[in-house]
């Protein structure tokens, strides 16, 4: 079981059933019809389905609890369990919808942090590779940030902070990909804008050293050695052991012979 799912199950103290690893459940019938039943029977059936790892079907069954008995305490529990079941099945939009329904009806509930966590996790698990549109990455950052702002001292927030770092690194990677493309096409000003974004907004990510080196390359290509030297000096100051600093130092030594001491912090 992944760490997010372990946290979700450990902190969601709504059901005595013990659940294990996630996966499967995609063969469940979404259009299965349900007969009117008492709320406890419906809820127990949904729990049993969840324990069998039939996650999509379990989500639909928890939804049915809410549909047939919307004003019962079981409906409130079912909304959160539905969110988890759909999340475990990889049905992230359904998971978000169930969690957001819960929050709209019970914003002050003690289970609200869990609902925010499910929204954030569902966005996070939809992050696309850096060669794709990064709208989902920004949505993940926004929802993770909201969770941290509202409930900073929870275990959910602790996990969210780790994921924010990874999401920011992802966005920085996208900027680098675009910047490198512009650079390869000789569009140095457009490339510089992208590399500066990484340096200014994502300076704590793993991409910052390369971004500074690409700035050195681009400024030299544009005939602006002064800016190239400044970028190389920042690189040397902050990442002296980086391979990118070594490359920048050689470039500056080749193209700006009187600058290497400044780049090395000696002038």
Residue 104 burial (CB count, 10 A): 10
Name the domain count of the chain: 1
- Strand segments (E) across the chain: none
Q: pLDDT 10s per residue in the chain (267 long)?
A: 455 555 455 444 344 332 323 334 444 444 444 466 777 888 999 999 999 999 999 999 999 998 898 888 888 899 999 999 999 999 999 999 999 999 999 999 999 999 999 999 999 999 998 888 899 999 999 999 999 999 999 999 999 999 999 999 999 999 999 999 999 999 999 999 999 999 999 999 999 999 999 999 999 999 999 999 999 999 999 999 999 999 998 999 888 877 666 565 544
The answer to whether position 182 is within a domain reads: no
The answer to whether position 218 is within a domain reads: no
The answer to whether position 160 is within a domain reads: no
pTM for the whole structure: 0.75
CATH number at residue 110: 1.25.40.10
Structural domain for 42, as ranges = 1-126
The answer to whether position 95 is within a domain reads: yes
> HSE on the CB side for 233, CA within 13 Å?
15
CA proximity to 92, closest of 67, 66, 128: 128
Classified as helix, coil or strand, 202 is coil
The answer to whether position 197 is within a domain reads: no
The answer to whether position 37 is within a domain reads: yes
Cα end-to-end distance, the chain, whole Å = 54
The answer to whether position 220 is within a domain reads: no
Residue 208 near residue 235 (C-beta atoms within 8 A): no
Cβ-count burial of 60 within 10 angstroms (0-12 exposed, 13-18 middle, 19+ buried)?
buried
The answer to whether position 209 is within a domain reads: no
Residue 145 burial (CB count, 10 A): 15
């Amino acid at each position: 079981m992944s760490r997010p799912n372990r946290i979700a199950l450990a902190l969601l103290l709504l059901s005595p059933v013990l659940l294990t690893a996630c996966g499967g459940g995609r063969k469940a019938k979404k259009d299965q019809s349900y007969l009117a039943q008492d709320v406890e029977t419906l809820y127990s059936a949904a729990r049993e389905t969840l324990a069998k790892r039939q996650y999509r079907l379990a989500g639909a069954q928890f939804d049915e609890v809410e549909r047939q008995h919307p004003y019962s305490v079981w409906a409130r529990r079912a909304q959160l369990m539905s969110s988890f079941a759909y999340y475990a099945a990889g049905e992230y939009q359904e998971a978000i919808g169930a969690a957001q329904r819960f929050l709209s009806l019970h914003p002050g509930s003690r289970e609200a942090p869990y609902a925010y966590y499910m929204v954030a996790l569902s966005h996070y698990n939809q992050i696309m590779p850096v060669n794709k549109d990064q709208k989902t990455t920004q949505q993940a950052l926004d929802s993770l940030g909201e969770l941290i702002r509202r409930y900073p001292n929870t275990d959910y927030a602790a996990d969210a902070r780790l994921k924010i770092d990874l999401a920011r690194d992802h966005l920085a990677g996208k900027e680098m990909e675009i910047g490198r493309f512009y650079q390869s096409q000789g569009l140095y000003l457009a490339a510089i804008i992208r590399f500066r974004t990484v340096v200014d907004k994502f300076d704590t990510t793993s991409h910052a050293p390369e971004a500074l080196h690409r700035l050195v390359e681009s400024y030299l290509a544009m005939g602006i050695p002064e800016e190239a030297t400044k970028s190389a000096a920042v690189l040397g100051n902050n990442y002296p052991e980086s391979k990118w600093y070594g490359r920048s130092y050689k470039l500056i030594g080749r193209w700006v012979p009187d600058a290497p001491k400044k780049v090395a912090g000696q002038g």
